[in-house]
Chain A
């Protein structure tokens, strides 16, 4: 491909409005232009999707992107729309029959085709996909391929077949977190060998995020600690919870006890409100979001100053991903994990519920009429293995291995929580990276408040709460004027 870097930079400026690449981006683009398959491990917040988005304007052939969550696909589609790109489709179960037919009939008109893996398994979809020539095959969140990783998705295993049925276009596997063994596993599961894949691996470390763990004796003490932290911290932040109910309850408590504007953000919040919350958060009208860990979030806000885990996530991969929402502007930020003894039972009970027991697997396989009574997630999982002609015993074994892997992941994050030396060294060791030099801006245990001050992340006197925090409805007449009149049209 005869394209110069200056052309690439022009594209970067004109399509995306950036003057420079973040680390890893240009290197991967160069490899793709040389038609090399790439496994890219780039830390969160480095704009992984920009790589293939920009590349699509270089190859001018459709690009297929496999993504595990509908919410992630929606975010990507919306993001591209915002950039003025209209030739984007998200092929997900959200489409109704009619829309899906329309999309499939016009598939060749799209530049970006986002796809959930279970969609690619549908014969009608596959038949249409096979008719096109692709410029690139992208596997987003590629760590979902690995059974060693905590986010394994069995339907990702079919991607290898899909790839060959699509005439094996150049493939880009993207992830923010992958240990060495997971990387090897990804390559294997995609049907590649080590020598046919270029690896672009950057440290997962985010040095501008201070890591803190706070141990609290009781859950009341934890709530009080949280309030103190929120009264001390300045700027925008995200707090992660393991349940929607807890997120709702704490949202209420925070708005009563602090003068901060706060909103809950999870699957029960309707689409319009999610949009409003995202936008208000971007504008700084809402400064704290209480989210559930399991929920994808399309917020690309550069100046998130803190991420707090009210409940610890189930594994270090998720932890890294979630704290990665802080400090994308590269300025000092802080990640605080609040822990009370026994917290580990919350995610672990969630984990145990994920996998069906042997007796249930048997029922599912032998009595078709029972299948509808299974939880949708379990049903999807079991259906997958049944269609693959895996036997009951084998399925049970797979689940036991997966269960074991989840337990191991949980123990690893528990070790992190109970670490007595450098937290960052512990975290990086998990990703097979060497220990960094520990200094005062690196990490700390049970000293978050003083760290906040030392890092300059504390509130600077401004004691009068901004007026927008007292909520008033604007009169409908003014609201209509705001919506439909440019300022220069109405001076009064």
Chain B
């Protein structure tokens, strides 16, 4: 019998045998807590593709998974830090190829995938009930914001042919998927007198673990979202449901604003003045941009050269293990901002895998 993918196996993917890693960083990235420190270490640990995809993960459940891994001898877990054992490395490798199949591309940096999902579900339900000319039904529960959004979508598109149009759009998407994937996606829909299958029911129909289905579901939603972007002329109804929730940049709105101003004026103090915030805040904003954007102009912010002592230390040590305290001793002029920028520039950054 094949071993089924569980959440703890997923966690192993971000751990290493060679260094201790902070478990808080794992948790904060999975639930989508956006701070420079989280993003920086999240990038180092390979967590960014999964950023913000597990909003409902509770700290208790997360801790429990780590304790379980430690009890099975797969990891060492102390002082909120984790490290793989030899046995853990083996266990990690079993699932690495499976996890690699999921291509989330850091979708959680651009949107809250759950919001988009609720909108699709609700829009399908409203349209289905409309097709059956029924206006007395229990709507799926969602936040008031989503409810209002979907009502507006419906009243803008309401016509006799709406159900057929939406069906056609969904067919185009579903036809692109494998049969299993398309069936699973479509069986989640809730409509007139037919309420679809629960996650548990779909997982057991597909004979996979609940967690595996959870990842699969996120993956299908990610594919759906990118499809509405690339084929928006073929699928105007779906595109309308997705686009308003999608940012054009992985950087937060505030950071992006600072970054755009910096590109224009190339002067940090000027940006701080314009935005009426502290210089340090602007630096944080730029660090976020440096972590998340591929073409960040590092050279504009870094000194043209460093003393030889510093360079030889940096070249001899992997960026993840650089110590600011050591660098400062070698060159008292270097700031933490510059240190971190350099670390980002030289470090392994990839969330768009």
A: residues with CB less than 8 A from B are 74, 78-79, 81-84, 94-96, 98-99, 102-103, 263-264, 268-277, 279-280, 283, 471-477, 479-480, 482-486
Contacts and interface: CB of A to CB of B under 8 A. Distances in A.
Given A475-B179, A479-B187, 12 more contacts: A81-B138, A82-B137, A82-B138, A96-B145, A270-B56, A270-B199, A273-B199, A279-B195, A476-B179, A476-B186, A484-B191, A486-B133
Contacts of B136: 82-84
B186 A78 contact: no
B3 interface: no
A432 B127 CA distance: 52
26 contacts: A79-B138, A81-B138, A81-B139, A82-B136, A82-B138, A99-B143, A99-B145, A102-B144, A263-B198, A264-B200, A271-B141, A272-B190, A273-B198, A276-B198, A283-B195, A474-B183, A474-B187, A475-B179, A475-B183, A476-B185, A479-B183, A479-B186, A479-B187, A484-B127, A484-B164, A484-B167
Contact of B131 (A263, A271, A479, A483): A483
Q: How large is the interface on B (under 10, 10 to 19, 20 to 34, 35 or more residues)?
A: 35 or more
A483 B191 contact: yes
Contacts of A272: 118, 121, 140, 188, 190
Contacts of A279: 138, 190, 195
B190 to A, nearest CB: 7
Contacts of A84: 135-136
Given A471-B201, A473-B184, A483 B128 contact: yes
A415 B232 CA distance: 66
B265 interface: no
Nearest to A98: B145
A277 B198 contact: yes
Interface of B: 56, 118, 121, 124, 127-128, 131-133, 135-145, 148, 163-164, 166-167, 170-171, 174, 179-180, 182-192, 194-202, 204-206
Contacts of B131: 483-486
A309 B217 CA distance: 34
Nearest to B196: A276
Contacts, number: 123
A103 B322 CA distance: 52
A268 B189 CA distance: 20
A479 B136 CA distance: 22
B163 to A, nearest CB: 4
A82 B138 CA distance: 5
B145 A263 contact: no
A483 B194 contact: yes
A78 to B, nearest CB: 5
A484 B142 contact: no
B138 A480 contact: no
A483 B197 contact: no
Contacts of B138: 78-79, 81-82, 275, 279
Contacts of B206: 473
Contacts of B142: 271
A103 B191 contact: no
Given A83-B136, A480-B167, A484-B163, A275 B205 contact: no
A266 to B, nearest CB: 13
Nearest to B132: A486
Given A475-B183, A480-B171, A480-B186, A276 B144 contact: no
A468 to B, nearest CB: 11
Task: Kindly name the residue among A103, A273, A474, A484 whose own CB sees the greatest number of chain B CB atoms within 10 A.
Answer: A484
B198 A479 contact: no
Contacts of B192: 483
Contacts of B180: 473
Minimum-distance CB pairs A-B, first 3 = A476-B186, A483-B191, A484-B163
Contacts of B135: 84
A103 B144 contact: yes
Nearest to A96: B145
B260 to A, nearest CB: 25
Contact of B124 (A79, A95, A271, A483): A483
A145 B143 CA distance: 29
A458 to B, nearest CB: 28
B199 A96 contact: no
A394 B163 CA distance: 62
A95 B144 contact: yes
B164 A275 contact: no
A79 B132 CA distance: 20
B56 to A, nearest CB: 8
Given A99-B145, A276-B195, A271 B186 contact: no
Given A280-B195, A485-B131, A78 B183 contact: no
A485 B133 CA distance: 11
Contacts of B144: 94-95, 99, 102-103
A94 B142 CA distance: 10
Contacts of B166: 484
A439 B76 CA distance: 63
Contacts of A486: 131-133
A276 B194 CA distance: 9
